[in-house]
Amino acid sequence: MQRRKIGFLIIALLVVLYPLVIGDSYKVYIMNRSLIHAIIAMGLVTQVGFAGQISLGHAAFYGIGAYTTSLTVLKLGFPIGLGFLAAILMCVIFSVFLSVPSFKLSGFFLSLTTIAFGHIVWVIIVNWQSLTNGPLGVFGIPGLKLFGIKFNNTHYYYLLVATIALLYLFIKRITNSFIGRAFMAMRDDELAAECSGINTRNFKLLAFGISAGFAGLAGAFYAHLSGFISPESFVFAESTKFVGMAVTGGLRHLLGGIIGAPIVTFLPELFRFPGWETYYMMAATFIILMIVVFMPDGLAPLFEKGFNKIFGERDDVKGGSSE
């Protein structure tokens, strides 16, 4: 047990020291983007991995969150904190409408519905120019401040790490409760879950709401981090990338989104060699494909096994109980 505490302490120190040791503002910014993506991937792990509700339209919620906080702060003069809250609430409200088709649809047909939703939102963002400024995007989005100090990339990094830690505890609490057991029962066999007295409609609404709220929060962070948003950031390809992050990390593992998002975000950066400008994305995509093919459970179980091998397993696991 003492060895495990040392292991967790080492990981915590590495996380805390990352921006100080790297000393490169651009790399810290890329890490911030990966942490924002991790928030979305965590929501997808909850919705898809635990509740079994497929979504390929999360770029829409990401965009709704980004535009909601930007417009409420710039046009209505709201404080940034209220802009974040409005972004989350707006995404949760839209998730209710999107979750209704899931009452009757599943699998391939539900995924098509979420794709259509994502495209509708993107078309609205592009064409409602009086509100969203259309293809030109929204400029001058203010950054976060605390006690009069404007956040830089390092400040955002620590805020995002703290946010992810809180969201992880939130998801862990849910998955270890009756809600998590209902999610997994619904994922494994919806009819059997209903016969057992589980109101699958309510739990589908909850799964969509949690996942959409996470995406809205991520969108708000992105808007205030970058200071500029445009429709190109919320296309369908972004939705598939978010799902790829969750799958790469592990769809049925609590750490799946947290591990998968930085890997998928940073891989293209690692292949940006001179002369590779045309091929770096192809190389990164090939590696991700190999991970998915040869490690279908994702990288999170591998990381967990490595940690247990180095620092020892939990006492309850040694005693024979499963996590």
211 touches 56 (CB < 8 A) = no
Q: Any idea of the CA torsion for 279, 118, 219, 232, to the nearest 10 degrees?
A: 40
**Residue that has been written with the tokens 């929060």 in this structure:** 217
Cβ pair 246, 49 in contact under 8 A: yes
Q: What is the pLDDT of residue 1?
A: 67
The predicted pLDDT at position 58 comes to 92
Q: Are 56 and 240 in contact (CB under 8 A)?
A: yes
Q: Which tokens in the block code for residue 317? A: 């696991």
Q: Are 14 and 63 in contact (CB under 8 A)?
A: no
Residues with Cβ < 8 Å from 105, sequence gap 6 or more?
A: 113
Which one, of 225, 233, 226, lies nearest residue 62 by Cα? 233
Q: In whole angstroms, how large is the CA radius of gyration of the chain?
A: 20
Of 280, 241, 214, 284, residue with least CA distance to 36: 214
Q: What pLDDT sits at residue 272? A: 76
pLDDT at 109: 82
Residues sharing a CB contact under 8 Å with residue 30, sequence separation 6 or more, in sequence order:
265, 266, 269
Ranges of the chain with pLDDT below 50: 319-323
Largest CA distance in the chain: 63
Q: Strand pairing partners for 229?
A: 138
d(CA 139, CA 121): 20
Give the global pTM: 0.91
Predicted confidence (pLDDT) per residue in 121-165, tens digit? 999 999 999 899 999 999 999 989 887 788 999 999 999 999 999
- How many Cβ atoms sit within 10 Å of the Cβ of residue 70? 28
Degrees, nearest 5: CA angle 222-226-227: 110
**Alpha carbons 277 and 283: distance in angstroms, whole number:** 11
Rounded to whole angstroms, how far apart are CA atoms 278 and 284? Answer: 12
pLDDT at 285: 82
From the list 263, 261, 203, the residue with the least C-alpha distance to 62 is 261
Would you state the pLDDT for residue 138? 93
pLDDT at residue 315, rounded to an integer:
60
Helical packing angle, 80-99 and 200-226, nearest 10°: 140
